[in-house]
């Protein structure tokens, strides 16, 4: 009986190991830097921002922080996904910490909308 339990446990461990190693090869690329294009709607000027993951980036009165980004595994037209937090320094309302806090998608920016009266932004690259 002990042999059956031993071989069953060994089988489970090996199965989990092979599932884990196979999933590493299928994972999407997780980046350390994000390129974001930001448009000032008032002046009609845009700027390319290069933001490192986890660091605050101050652009005029906005503080942008990207917590995570990843590319899909498709090479021809990769989907870029990022988790973004944006604070407005002019906003003195203590009840609202972030004006935007969520996932953004490069191919479908309307899924999770960054809605600001002065600025629009788009995720361009994750590397």
* pLDDT, tens digit (0-9, with 9 covering 90-100), for 68-120: 998 877 666 678 889 999 998 887 776 667 888 988 888 776 676 788 889 98
Q: Kindly state whether residue 119 falls inside one of the protein's structural domains.
A: yes
Which residue range forms the structural domain that includes residue 65? 29-126
Q: How many whole angstroms separate alpha carbon 12 and alpha carbon 67? A: 35
Does residue 87 lie within any of the structural domains? yes
User: Which tokens is 44 given?
Assistant: 């009609």
Average pLDDT over the chain reads 78
Least confident of 4-13, 33-42, 60-69, 111-120: 4-13
Contacts of 112 (CB under 8 A, 6+ apart): 102, 103, 104, 105
Count: domains in the chain: 1
Residue 89 domain flag: yes
Q: Which ranges in the chain belong to alpha helices (H)?
A: 2-26
Q: Give a yes or no: residue 71 inside a domain.
A: yes
Q: Are 55 and 65 in contact (CB under 8 A)?
A: yes
Measure the CA–CA gap between 83 and 14, rounded to whole angstroms.
Answer: 34
Distance from chain centroid for Cα 36: 11
Q: Is residue 15 part of a domain?
A: no
- Domain assignment present for residue 105? The answer is yes
Is residue 55 within 8 A of residue 32, CB to CB? The reply is no
| Interstrand relation of 33-40 and 45-52 (parallel, antiparallel or unpaired) | antiparallel
pTM, rounded to two decimals: 0.70
pLDDT category at 25 given cuts 50, 70, 90 is: very low
């Amino acid at each position: 009986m002990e042999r059956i339990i031993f071989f069953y446990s060994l089988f489970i461990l090996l199965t989990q190991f092979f599932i884990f190693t196979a999933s590493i090869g299928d994972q999407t690329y997780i980046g350390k830097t994000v390129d974001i294009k930001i448009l000032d709607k008032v002046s009609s000027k845009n700027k390319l921002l290069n933001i490192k993951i986890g660091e605050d980036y101050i652009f005029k009165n906005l503080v942008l922080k990207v917590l995570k980004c990843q590319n899909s595994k498709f090479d021809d037209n990769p989907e870029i996904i990022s988790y973004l937090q944006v604070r407005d320094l002019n906003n003195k309302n203590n009840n609202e910490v972030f004006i935007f806090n969520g996932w953004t998608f490069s191919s479908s920016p309307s899924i999770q909308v960054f809605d600001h009266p002065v600025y629009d932004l788009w995720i361009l690259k994750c590397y």
